[in-house]
Structure 1
Amino acid sequence: MTDQMTHTPETVEKTPAQAPETMAGGRIYQPLTDIVETDEGVTLMLEMPGVSAEDVDVTLEKRVLTVRGKIEGTHPEKLQLAYAEYGEGDYERAFTLSDDFDPDKIGASVSHGVLTVTLPRTAEAQPKKIAVTGS
């Protein structure tokens, strides 16, 4: 099988097709996420291409951090899509947090299709350095 594909407009299917759908018929994807842990806290980096800061919603309720991103379609108006490998849709992902994080200091920013969420630890949860003395 080669990578060359021929499709008629009647047989066009989007891939991947294994994502849940919204009430409006759009897909919902779980963004790929990198998690970095430091002594100060945790940083989440979620891939959300095409989502602007205005279209991101980050909420914390009962220790569950939920991230949602809305995307507008990017298909040109007067062109008919013959084949698509890039699936478009909204993003949603949830994380259950421990009590170690300070909910008042959580921050989020979007840059180049990546949402970065910083979760600082509370002062009580941060590691403490114990001084060692010699005799």
Structure 2
Amino acid sequence: MKENTVATRNDQVAADTRAEERTLVPPVDIFETEEGLVVVADLPGVNKDGVSIDVADGVLTIRGNPGNGLRGDAVRHEFALRPFFRQFQLSDTVDQERISAEMRHGVLTIHLPKVAAKQPKKIAVSVAS
């Protein structure tokens, strides 16, 4: 799996395609197991409803929008919670139909199972009459 922030093609004028909002790149750990790959991403302040995981054209995209969780009007702002964004190019060995994810205490765990190896098939020979 290769990290890859993939540029999307857009026929609009460049000024219209630029996002005003800045994003953070979440740190990740990637582990290989017998079943596949496991991606662990740190998304502080993001809950289950604030995370989005998409797979399109072999690219895994992780987006996270943190919520401040505080009620009331702020008296002073000294920091801002920024959204997270990161993409990875998936290899052909990842079974994209069986990808699963779970979120716990701001840590996102994505399971990328391997494609099942094709088993050799025994073909029976019959006698033609």
**TM norm structure 2:** 0.69
Over residues 63-116 of structure 1, what are the superposed CA-to-partner deviations in whole Å (9 max), with x where a residue is unaligned?
1000001123467624213x44xx520000000010001111100111011010
2:32 counterpart of 1:37: yes
One-letter code of the match for 1:116?
Answer: T
2:105 counterpart of 1:109: no
2:86 counterpart of 1:93: yes
* Aligned residue pairs, count: 100
Over residues 26-49 of structure 1, what are the superposed CA-to-partner deviations in whole Å (9 max), with x where a residue is unaligned?
x30010001111121000000001
**TM norm structure 1:** 0.66
| Contact residue 45 and residue 68 of structure 2 kept, 8 A | no
Note the residue ranges of structure 2 that are not aligned, 5 or more in a row: 1-17, 119-129
Measured in 1, the distance between the counterparts of 2:59 and 2:101 equals: 15
Show the 5 A alignment for 1:53-68: 53-68=48-63
List structure 1 segments (4+ residues) > 4 angstroms apart after TM superposition: none
CA RMSD, Structure 1 to Structure 2 (Å): 2.1
* Percentage of identical aligned residues: 33
Specify the SS of the correspondent of 2:49. helix
Measured in 2, the distance between the counterparts of 1:60 and 1:92 equals: 14
Specify the SS of the correspondent of 2:23. strand
